[in-house]
Structures are given as C-alpha cells and as structure tokens.
Amino acid sequence: MKVVGLTGGIGSGKSTIARLFAEHGAHWVDADDVAREVVEPGTPALKAIAEHFGDAVLLETGALNRAELRTLIFQDEQQRQWLEQLLHPLIRASIREQLHPHGYDLPYTLLVSPLLLETDQHELVDRIVVVDVPVEVQIARTTARDTNSREQVQRIIDAQLPREERLEKADHVIDNAPGFEHDSQSAKAQVVALHAQLMAEFQRTK
C-alpha cells in the first residue's frame, strides 16, 4: 500500500484537506493526534517531560499543559531539540502501526503531518502533497483559532521549513488560500482531481 504525505505550515488547513480526502474513503493518520497519544497521562514520555521541565508543564488533571510547553520550547532551541529527540521516535513508531488498517481497500493512505519534511517522517511516504497558503494567511488563521500571539505564531513558522523549500519538495500542491479564486469549492475540486490521479497511478502499480 502506498502512503501519501500531506503537509503544510501551521494554519494552512491540512486537516480540512484531509477530511476532503476522507470523503472519498481515504484513511488518514494525523501525526498531531499521535503526538498527543504518546504523552497521555501515565505514559513514559509524559513522565520524562515532567522530570525535565518541571510540574509547570502539567495541568491539575495530570495531563500535559501544551500551551506552557509550547512557550518553553519555542523560546529555547536546545529545549525544543531535546523534546524532539524524545518524541519523534515514539511518534514515528506509532504512525507506522496506524498507517495500514485491516480490511482497507484503497491503494493509498494519508499521513498528515506538519513536520513531515522537518523530520524523518518523509521516509514513510511515497508522495508528498503540500497544502499551501501565504505566511500572512497562516498567521491570521492561527491567531484567530488559538490563543497564541502573532509573535508566538511567527516563532512556530520560523521553526518549520520555509514555504519556498516546502514547495520545492512537493510532488503535488493544493492551493488553500482564501480569495475569489481560492475558496472551499476550489479546494474540494483540487482534492477530487488529485484523488483520481493517485487512484489511477497506484492501482496500476499494485
């Protein structure tokens, strides 16, 4: 079975595009969901994080305080690297397990990941689809969606691959920017066309 990597910067609308693929029966694994699973209460990873950063990164319920942790790691590059070295191998292993569901009959599955190209997750995929929007759209969408400040969102964007490099690595690009020519119907049409292309290509190689 082939794996299609779906990526894009923060606020690009990756989950929205993934749900459009799901309307055609595509199974998808969200790396962000997996990242949350590996640090649930009681996991060794959460224990290690609490020991390293202190109880400030825990909520009263014992769950991870993601906002606090995000603030800490995007203010200190070494702390971000420490966290990535802990979590990325765990996330990768879990993703591999979830990418191939039993009884699934499409020739491809989707791996949705904001860090597909920044980590070794790209080694798990056969094609790379980039969901693309301008940086200003990323900032506007993310500040409206989350409680992060513009400066915090910019730091997250700076920690991700630059837009130009991401596009250079893409096999396919879905334009998900707002505007007269790029609305939800445009995104839906792009997904319809790409799904048909992937189905035809991967069924020939089965």
pLDDT at 178 over 60: yes
Instruction: Give a yes or no: residue 107 inside a domain.
Output: yes
pLDDT at 171 over 60: yes
Quote the mean pLDDT of the chain: 92
The CATH number linked to 20 is: 3.40.50.300
CA distances to 165, 174, 180 from 183, rounded to whole Å, are: 25, 12, 7
Q: Write the single-letter amino acid at 21.
A: F
The first and second tokens of residue 121, run together, are: 């997750």
What DSSP character marks residue 161?
P
Encode burial over 5-44: b for 16+ CB neighbours within 10 A, e otherwise.
bbbbbbbbbbeebbebbeeeebbbbbbeebbeebbeeeee
What's the structural domain count of the chain?
1
Question: For the segment 22-31, what is each residue's pLDDT rounded down to a tens digit?
Answer: 999 999 999 9
In which domain, by residue range, is 44 found? 2-200
Distance, CA of 194 to CA of 175 (rounded, Å): 12
Instruction: Give a yes or no: residue 206 inside a domain.
Output: no
Instruction: Give a yes or no: residue 40 inside a domain.
Output: yes
Distance, CA of 1 to CA of 162 (rounded, Å): 30
Question: For the segment 79-119, what is each residue's pLDDT rounded down to a tens digit?
Answer: 999 999 999 999 999 999 999 888 999 999 999 999 999 98
CA distances to 50, 105, 114, 193 from 20, rounded to whole Å, are: 37, 18, 17, 12
pLDDT at site 179: 60
Q: Bigger pLDDT: 183 or 34? A: 34
The first and second tokens of residue 40, run together, are: 């649930």
pLDDT at 180 over 50: no
What DSSP character marks residue 103?
T
Cβ(131)–Cβ(4) under 8 Å? no
Instruction: Give a yes or no: residue 205 inside a domain.
Output: no
pTM of model > 0.75: yes
Distance, CA of 113 to CA of 111 (rounded, Å): 6
Give me the phi and psi of 132, to 5 degrees please: -115, 135
pLDDT at site 147: 76
pLDDT at 165 over 60: yes
Distance, CA of 150 to CA of 201 (rounded, Å): 41
CA distances to 15, 48, 71, 158 from 25, rounded to whole Å, are: 15, 38, 37, 34
Distance, CA of 31 to CA of 91 (rounded, Å): 7
Question: For the segment 42-78, what is each residue's pLDDT rounded down to a tens digit?
Answer: 999 999 999 999 999 999 999 999 989 988 998 899 9
pLDDT at 182 over 60: no
